[in-house]
Structure 1
Amino acid sequence: MNGNVAKALPPQPAPCWRCRAVLLAVLAAIVASFVWLGLDLSALVSAESMGHMGRFIAEFFPPELSPDFLTRTAHGALQTLAVSALGTVLAMAAGAMLALPGSGRAGWPLQKAARFVLNLLRSVPELVWAALMVLAAGIGPFAGALALSLHTTGVLGRLFAEALENAPPAPERALREAGAGRIAAFGYASLPLVAPQWLAYSLYRWEMNIRMAAVLGFVGGGGLGQMLYFHLSIFQQAQSMTVLLGMFALVAGVDGASGWVRRRWGA
């Protein structure tokens, strides 16, 4: 009986020497990075460093809770929310338009051109786009929204195109063979398949744009970031802490709302 059980067991898989070699190469690269960059982790946890950080953090407490400043912080949070939402919506529309040729639906010349534009848009950081938009549109929330939309278009366009490439072609082909037009076949077959994935990507990027919209305030994009930059520059840590708490509340609220939307729509 023991012999029968031994025969029934599946054979042991051969060791994956390639996997082990890749793992060793990754570990060697990490060690080499620490050595080449001269990173000293002991300095991070030294008594002097911990003391400096502790004194700096203590200066942020207690936060500024006066009604006037809380009102200003709430206004900045709404402005940051509006900038991130507008930038994301514009990016969703532009990304979807570039994703159609980027997925190869209009031939390889347009696919290469669309991929080039998407690569260009997302390779330029948001702060660089913000600096350019400030020169074009002036200092304010509009420049921040444009900067977010340009970079996010490159990200969402690539993700949307990959979702279209991975969608099964059979439903759309069946509608085309039944006499439906190209737009109708796409709208009734492929689009419903990729829409939940597109929505999930867009909500995730919106959450990221909330944080980036705050950072864009450092270059004149308005909102909480501009408030944080101003108060940090004049060493008003208590006011800065209130702005940071506003950022946390805003990100947490958007995260909860996007999670509800994903559950509601199955994204």
Structure 2
Amino acid sequence: MTRPPAPPRDLGAWLLTAGLLLLAVASFASLDLQLAALFQPDALRSLSEFLAGFAPPDHSPAFLGQLAVGALETLAMSALGTGLAAVAGLFLALPAAGRFGAVLRPLARLLLNVLRSIPELVWAALLLVAAGLGPMAGTLALACHTSGVLGRLFADAFENLDPAPEQALRIHGAGRLAAFCYAPLPQALPQMLSYTLYRWENNIRAAAVLGVVGAGGLGQMLKYHLSLFQMPAAASVILAMLVLVAAVDGLSVLLRRWLTR
């Protein structure tokens, strides 16, 4: 019984792996990472004193009411920003998938690259100048960045579909719009909804952070109380963020399971 031949070794993969390892080693060597300073007695004492200032969290009824309003504002920012991004991403995904000709495809993909390459914090800083402080700037910042992410994912989903169902409808006389609504769109819809729910999870966390630059919600409350060294109130805001993120994560998992049944 002859042994099967050994699989061929890809020299490019070995070179890429060696290059990544070399880059990691060079990064540790070039950065002045004083990891030992983190475990010095003075550092540990300062850290313990800082963390002790957060206890106990502020649980007064008046402050809990403010937390509820901030949490609802953060939730609304993430939901509205994700919804706007899903609509904009769908419209940008169609030309990016080549459905309007080869000329618009690279232009649409370039626009998607620009939208998702700019982080949410940078979008918020830019939009704060136009929209002012508050949740509107944060919502638009989430929508701009997420439009680029979802548009690219939607375009790839459309390009990976089997074209046979749509071609069959076109051969039997269906128009372009009708064929798209009855073949590619239903095929890609479960995957698109899964992508949208996943981005909603991420946008909950991003919305909580965007408030740090004045975009409303729990993040703005956190910045306010930390700047005044009101640590118990800041601890309550952090706990509210954790509860909100956990709740949305659990809801998203349930929805994705329901969609994929």
TM-score band (shorter)? over 0.9
Deviations 1:193-239 (A, max 9, x none): 21111111111111111111111111221110110000000001111
CA distance in 1, matches of 2:34, 2:22: 18
CA distance in 1, matches of 2:4, 2:220: 63
Q: Mapping of 1:26-45 within 5 angstroms?
A: 26-45=20-39
CA distance in 2, matches of 1:46, 1:208: 35
Q: TM-score, normalised by structure 1?
A: 0.93
Which residue of structure 2 lines up, in the alignment, with residue 3 of structure 1? Answer: none
Match of 1:216 among 191, 210, 215: 210
Aligned residues: 261
Aligned-pair identity in percent equals 56
Which residue of structure 2 lines up, in the alignment, with residue 114 of structure 1? Answer: 108
Deviation at 1:12, TM superposition (A): 3.4
Which residue of structure 2 lines up, in the alignment, with residue 50 of structure 1? Answer: 44
Deviation at 1:242, TM superposition (A): 0.4
Residue 121 of structure 2 is aligned to residue 132 of structure 1: no
CA distance in 2, matches of 1:203, 1:51: 42
Deviations 1:39-92 (A, max 9, x none): 232223333333322222221111111111111101100010001100000000
Match of 1:94 among 88, 111, 130: 88
Match of 1:176 among 163, 170, 173: 170
Q: Mapping of 1:73-84 within 5 angstroms?
A: 73-84=67-78
Q: Mapping of 1:175-194 within 5 angstroms?
A: 175-194=169-188
Which residue of structure 1 lines up, in the alignment, with residue 155 of structure 2? Answer: 161
Amino acid at match of 1:10: P
Over the aligned positions, Cα root-mean-square deviation in angstroms equals 1.6
CA distance in 2, matches of 1:173, 1:217: 48
- 22-31 vs 69-78, which deviates more? 22-31
CA distance in 2, matches of 1:20, 1:110: 38
Amino acid at match of 2:110: F
Amino acid at match of 1:61: A
What residue ranges of structure 2 are gaps of 5+ in the alignment? none
Which residue of structure 1 lines up, in the alignment, with residue 98 of structure 2? Answer: 104
Q: TM-score, normalised by structure 2?
A: 0.95
- 37-46 vs 104-113, which deviates more? 37-46
CA distance in 2, matches of 1:17, 1:150: 41
CA distance in 1, matches of 2:15, 2:114: 34
CA distance in 2, matches of 1:101, 1:236: 50
